[in-house]
Amino acid sequence: MSHAISDDLLKRYDVPGPRYTSYPTADRFVEAFTEQDYRQALEQRRAGSLALPLSVYVHVPFCESVCYYCACNKVITKHHSRGAEYLRHLSRELELQIEHLGSGQSVSQLHLGGGTPTFLSDAELEDLMAMLKRHFRLVPGGEYSIEVDPRTVNATRLQTLQRLGFNRLSFGVQDFDPAVQKAVHRIQPASQVFELMAAARRIGFESVNVDLIYGLPLQTPESFRRTLAQLAELRPDRVALYGYAHLPARFKPQRRIVSAELPGAADKLAMLSASLDALGEAGYVYVGMDHFALPDDALAVAKRQGRLHRNFQGYSTQPDCDLIALGVSAIGRVGATYSQNAKTLDEYVDLLDQGRLPIVRGLALSRDDLMRRAVIMSIMCQGVLLYESIDQGHLVDSRRYFARELEQLEDFAEQGLVRIDDAGVHVTERGWYLVRAIAMVFDRHLQVDQDRARFSRIL
């Protein structure tokens, strides 16, 4: 895999940039978008006859201890009683949304993220699922997933998760090396992860994902190769491989990481190259960006069949969805709008106690935003920009509209990353490794201000 693209190209395009779980990206949201705007979007969906399928995301912010690399919105506490109070406010938020959305709508995708969703007790998770099923219809064959901290579950808990309706798991592993785990304050023996994977297989989960991070303190190319070898033995259905972004000015927990212990750029590049080789040799399909999957996994099948989609949880097999987001800091999408809940637990609770939806910012997309979103998502998911599709869908001459962007892509074409012909732009096999950089060409907001320091690097 790594031989498809040279180290020189990786270095050249290893720049900060968005992950494009949305376009425009969340940093473009404005406080001028209010609760009233969101209610209107819900009501328009309810009244419409051609509504998109529905996805639901629930954010559970609690963690018992802090992982130093973490950039997620979280609340560190050992007081599990806070879970019950949080569920009461989630229930109130859902009721307020349903007043405008209408009950009984079909949901084909549900994801519980955090924080640590398994911070909640089995009884609390059961209450949460019952709450969701009262208001939505979870359709057969949908994707129902939950993020799992291996330190918080055992085989019995995994059985409970399956009984509640979850059919996909995501284990946060990051690295198997004990020294690296200690340096990031997340100690979990490899044997524990292997036992849980074996249990998940016995129980019959449809897909299990494992997260890895390269670029953490005390990692070396040699130590990460050992982790990759253990991963190949573990053989999850999917792998999410992230490059660590050290942004201590933005994320307070990262200030506990000793900067001198972070691997240099050359070692980080070597880890990425070794990962591409190891995953390829282990039989994984490169789906895109930081996602890999076994050939028979639904994600790899969707990639082959051109059915891949992308949302706030990353790559997905589900069709383009509206997303109802619940919980502190959660981001949703309804129609041509994005919205985000209050980022602090106190503000989230206070707004709900006032009987208000906790929307604090968002965005109503312009015609240009919608067109560029279509282009960027097509590039990120199918690896193509077809002029005719954009022309017919948005009533424009896309070659003229994107003349400047197409000129910029000539450099990518010279490097063998894209192929441009009369039909459109096609990402090459080697171009997939840099698909974020290709998509960034069409990001109007990014091109205008060029301020990319707030983003992680694309490799």
Per-residue pLDDT tens for 158-175?
999 999 999 999 999 999
The whole-number pLDDT of residue 265 equals 82
- Cβ–Cβ < 8 Å for 84, 28: no
- Cβ–Cβ < 8 Å for 417, 427: yes
pLDDT of 450 > 70? The answer is no
- 6 and 77, same structural domain? no
- The pTM for the full model equals 0.92
Average pLDDT of the residues in 66-95: 95
pLDDT of 434 > 90? The answer is no
CB atoms within 10 A of CB 341: 26
pLDDT per residue over 276-322, tens digit each? 899 999 999 989 878 999 999 999 999 899 888 888 878 888 777 89
Q: Does residue 327 have a known ligand-binding role?
A: no
Q: Sign of torsion, CA 343 347 352 357? A: negative
What is the end-to-end Cα distance of the chain in Å, rounded?
15
Q: Does residue 206 have a known ligand-binding role?
A: no
pLDDT of 355 > 70? The answer is yes
Q: Is residue 17, in this structure, part of any structural domain at all?
A: yes
Which segment of 16-20, 200-204, 251-255 scores lowest on mean pLDDT? 16-20
Q: Does residue 115 have a known ligand-binding role?
A: yes
The whole-number pLDDT of residue 457 equals 65
pLDDT of 36 > 80? The answer is yes
pLDDT of 353 > 90? The answer is yes
The whole-number pLDDT of residue 455 equals 64
Q: Which residue among 290, 323, 356 closes a domain?
A: 323
Q: Sign of torsion, CA 339 342 345 349? A: negative
Nearest CA-CA partner of 376 in 455, 300, 307, 444: 444
Q: Is residue 347, in this structure, part of any structural domain at all?
A: no
The whole-number pLDDT of residue 81 equals 93
Question: Binning pLDDT at 50, 70 and 90, where does residue 8 land?
Answer: confident
Q: Does residue 215 have a known ligand-binding role?
A: no
Q: How far apart are CA 277 and CA 284, in angstroms?
A: 10
Q: Does residue 69 have a known ligand-binding role?
A: yes
Number of structural domains the chain divides into:
2
**245 secondary structure, DSSP code:** -
Q: Does residue 186 have a known ligand-binding role?
A: yes
- 190 and 252, same structural domain? yes
- Location of structure tokens 């707004």: 351
The whole-number pLDDT of residue 458 equals 61
Q: Which residue among 269, 289, 323 closes a domain?
A: 323
- 13 and 113, same structural domain? no
Q: Does residue 214 have a known ligand-binding role?
A: no
Instruction: Copy the structure tokens of residue 238.
Output: 């999917």
SS3 content of the chain, % helix, strand, coil (to 5): 45, 20, 35
pLDDT per residue over 235-283, tens digit each? 999 999 998 988 898 899 999 999 999 999 889 888 988 998 999 999 9
Q: Is residue 354, in this structure, part of any structural domain at all?
A: no
In a 3-state reduction of DSSP, which class is residue 315? strand
- Cβ–Cβ < 8 Å for 297, 31: no
Helices (H) and strands (E) in the chain, counts: 17, 19
Q: Is residue 360, in this structure, part of any structural domain at all?
A: no
- 81 and 2, same structural domain? no
The whole-number pLDDT of residue 15 equals 76
**Which carries the bigger pLDDT value, residue 57 or residue 250?**
57
- 81 and 1, same structural domain? no
- 371 and 301, same structural domain? no
Q: Does residue 116 have a known ligand-binding role?
A: yes
- Location of structure tokens 């979007």: 41
CATH code (residue 250):
3.80.30.20
Q: Is residue 349, in this structure, part of any structural domain at all?
A: no
pLDDT per residue over 180-198, tens digit each? 999 999 999 999 999 999 9
Q: Does residue 126 have a known ligand-binding role?
A: no
- 162 and 84, same structural domain? yes
Q: How far apart are CA 395 and CA 252, in angstroms?
A: 46
pLDDT per residue over 124-167, tens digit each? 999 999 999 999 999 998 999 999 999 999 999 999 999 999 99
Nearest CA-CA partner of 318 in 109, 132, 177: 109
- 4 and 104, same structural domain? no
- 137 and 6, same structural domain? no
Q: Does residue 156 have a known ligand-binding role?
A: no
Q: Is residue 133, in this structure, part of any structural domain at all?
A: yes
CATH code (residue 391):
1.10.10.920
The whole-number pLDDT of residue 290 equals 85
Average pLDDT of the residues in 103-111: 94
pLDDT of 459 > 70? The answer is no
Domain span at residue 379? 1-24+366-459
**Mean of the per-residue pLDDT values of the chain:** 92
Q: Is residue 159, in this structure, part of any structural domain at all?
A: yes
Q: Which residue among 263, 290, 323 closes a domain?
A: 323
The whole-number pLDDT of residue 19 equals 83
Q: Does residue 70 have a known ligand-binding role?
A: yes
Q: How far apart are CA 407 and CA 181, in angstroms?
A: 46
- 164 and 183, same structural domain? yes
151 phi, psi to nearest 5 deg: -75, -10
Q: How far apart are CA 397 and CA 26, in angstroms?
A: 28
- 20 and 40, same structural domain? no
Q: Is residue 357, in this structure, part of any structural domain at all?
A: no
- 257 and 303, same structural domain? yes
**% residues pLDDT > 90 (the chain):** 78
